Structure 1
Amino acid sequence: MAIAFLLTIPLSSEIFAQTTYDVNIPTGAANPNAPFFWQSEKDGSTTGNVDILVGDTIIWKNADSAAHTVTSGIVSEGPDDIFDSNLFGPGKSFSYTFTETGDYPYYCLLHPWMDGTILVTEGYSIVPNVGKLVGNGETYFDVEYDFNRLLANPEINEDEKSISFEIIGDAQSDIHDLELRLHSELIDGNFVIWIDGEKISNFEQTKDGDLNILYVSLEPDSELLTIIGTSVVPEFGSLSMMILVTSIISMLILSQKSKIKF
């Protein structure tokens, strides 16, 4: 049964290649005082910045009453000739498929305050700096995952020895299996997994060196993933432990001196 389950789970990012993400140009974007100029349907962000993988496509859709361009390059240096929509009016769209890794800035030639960047990576998506806000702040890792939605807002509970991730965005395929790669210094043990407050059993856990690799079958509308282990990011790292030990020794020495003095 376990082998059959593993065979149904993609072990690479190829299954999610050529995913399409919409970036909408909202009504009023031609006004420099508009509250925002882009809206990504991938995660709801309005910065114009979108993280994608090699092979993915961005479709910019003009929902404004004015015409715009989507032109690669930066305002101060001008177009870099990688892609250019030319002028496209209300209700029209422009798409571009990114085949190489890198950062691709873009802007509107008519309205240069409208700018953004497409960040293209190869392989796994990343949740950065997980563990940095707990313990001593010295032990943290980028968590890699392969999924048709986004993992965000990681939260570590040191008492429960758990890590939780919010699951956000629209599904980009009909395959809802997650591959999650967690460093053993971030969380370790035989894991128990909860989805939206319910304990599940349809997952597999394997080990690859220092990485714990989880294969989890999720529902299209899942919202919260919680992983419980036997250890999470240590409360005290090596430097903090040395400082603690030094402080204790110093206190003992001072205590002994005080006793001798009296």
Structure 2
Amino acid sequence: MIKEIDFSLRKLSKLKSSENQLNSVKLNFKIIIVVSIIFVLFGTNSVFAQSTYTINIPTGAADPRAPYFWQSEKDGDTSGEIHVLPSDTVKWSNADTEFHTVTSGISPDLGGEGPNGIFDSGLFSPGESFKNTFGDEGTYPYFCTIHPWMSGIVVVKSAFSVIQNVGDDAGDGSTTFDVEYDFNRVIVDATVDEDQKAVTFTLVGKPQNDDNTLTLHLPKDLISNPNVIWADGKPITNFEVIPEGGMNVVTIPVTETTQQVTILGTSVVPEFGALSTVVLVTSMIAVIFAVSRSKIISKI
């Protein structure tokens, strides 16, 4: 009798333990599903190309007799002036042996009113850096409050037009990109060919000037390593590709009558978009849950 009671108690304890394990698996399953959906929905929305540009403060900049006080990694310019787009970030890196500041405004020593409160690094030591992201168009003068002869300008201007939702014809259409371009005509359409790993842009309108150069800011997640370009079915060999952060700046010489430009790369926007990714992740987790559940039940 005692043995039977002991066996029943052990059986009940085992059942409760298995039930707890099963509930734990269910809870983990639900958590993973929710996290996956949040990640996909908020992590794969339309992507807009943004860049970070670095201006170095060279050794000796604290001396007013130094040959230059800034050097841009973007183009090597030493004037302290840099042109960027809205939402771009400028990073000032202190490669000098002295403390410096990067403070918006014009130094009183140069006829200005001093700091204007838009941005201010405060003192930052050798080896440190300061970043500022520029949202609005405009001209932003800056200087070092310790060494007022160190002055520069950030010019923020939307020189580019934008074609939106490029990639909505690829995969399930949920992963799209906004592509900036500079051209004397208009791009009315952009089509992604997943099989050819290509993006084709359709050009229309009358030229607004004599410069027929097309410049595209192509996000690397839209098309990576653009290496072959066709204009109306004919290859173009004298194009230029310059990597800048998460995008490639592609410069293409075309004619005033060019109607289509096709760019081929090594990969294009992922075949599986947000919705497909959720379905795939959910399916995989469901299989894992089913296997775990069967193992727990088999132990009962």
Structure with more contact order per residue of length (Cα contacts < 8 Å, sep ≥ 6): 2
Select the structure that is richer in strand: 1
Question: Rg bigger for which structure?
Answer: 2
User: TM-score, length-normalised on structure 2?
Assistant: 0.43
